[in-house]
Amino acid sequence: MHKYLLASLFFLFLTGLVSCTLQVGHKKETKPSAHSSAVNVDASEESNALSLRPGEIGPGDVLSIKVYGEASLSGKYQVGPSGYIVFPLIGKISAVGYNIVSLSEKISEKLSDGYVKNPQVILNIISFVSNRIYVLGQVKKAGKFPMLDKMSVVEAISLAGGFTRYADITRVIITRKSEAGKEKRYNIDIEKIVKGKQQNFYLQTGDIVFVTERFF
C-alpha cells in the first residue's frame, strides 16, 4: 500500500517538474497591436507629404492622345513609374502634375517645333490609377474610390457606404506614404469630428482609411 502511495507521489512530482521545465525561459508571445504605430493627432496637423491634386496626372494613368489629321501620332499612352510618356517624334515627356489641358498644350508646343504645322491635340484620361484613396475595414462597401477635391475622411467613409454595426468610430486609422516611401499613421476619432470637438481630417491621394472593429 505504501509502495503504491510513494509511486503516485513520485509520479505527481515528476509531472510537475516537467511542466516547470517546459515553462522556464518561455516568454508568452503577444501579437503587436495594429494600432501601436498610429499617431493620435489633431486633424488640423498638416503632413509634409506631397500629393497630386484631383485632376492631375500621375504614374500609371492611361491617356488617350489624338492629334487632328495625324493618325500615326494618335493612340493610348500610359504614364510610366518615373512619370514620363514616350510620344512619337518628340520622345519622353514628363506628364506628372499636369492636367489634360496643360499637358495637351505642352505636347502641341513640342510638335509645332518643326514636326507638325499648327497641331491640334486632344487629350483625355482613360484610367485614373494614381488619383485614388482606399477605404477598408468595417465599412459597408470597402474598396478604392476616386480622390475628390478637398476630400475629408468623413466623405470617404460615406462613399464606402458608411460604417458597419461593428465599427469603432473612435479609432479610424489613416495610412499615408510620403515621397520617400515612409509610412505615417494617424488615429482619427470620427465621433469627436461629428460632435464638433475635433476638426475634420483631409485626405491625400493614395491614403488608406481603415475603420477598426470595436470590442464588445
pLDDT in tens, 28-77: 333 334 343 455 544 444 333 346 677 788 888 899 999 999 999 999 99
Which CATH number goes with the domain that contains 80?
Answer: 3.30.1950.10
* Average pLDDT of the residues of the chain: 79
Tell whether 57 is covered by a domain: no
Other C-beta atoms closer than 10 Å to the C-beta of 202 total 17
- Residue 192 reports pLDDT greater than 70: yes
Residue 163's domain spans which residues? 39-51+131-213
Number of domains in the chain: 2
**Alpha carbons 183 and 167: distance in angstroms, whole number:** 24
The verdict on 111 and 140 lying in the same domain is no
**Alpha carbons 54 and 70: distance in angstroms, whole number:** 30
The verdict on 45 and 147 lying in the same domain is yes
Last residue of a domain, one of 127, 153, 177: 127
The verdict on 191 and 204 lying in the same domain is yes
C-alpha separations of 143 from 135, 139, 146, 214 in Å: 6, 9, 10, 20
Which CATH number goes with the domain that contains 203?
Answer: 3.10.560.10
Residues in the chain: 216
C-alpha separations of 69 from 60, 73, 76, 122, 125 in Å: 28, 9, 16, 11, 20
pLDDT digits (tens, 9 = 90+) for 122-176: 999 887 777 889 999 999 999 988 877 788 999 999 999 999 999 999 999 999 9
Query: Three cell numbers at 114?
Result: 518643326
Last residue of a domain, one of 79, 96, 127: 127
Last residue of a domain, one of 78, 94, 127: 127
The verdict on 100 and 200 lying in the same domain is no
Tell whether 90 is covered by a domain: yes
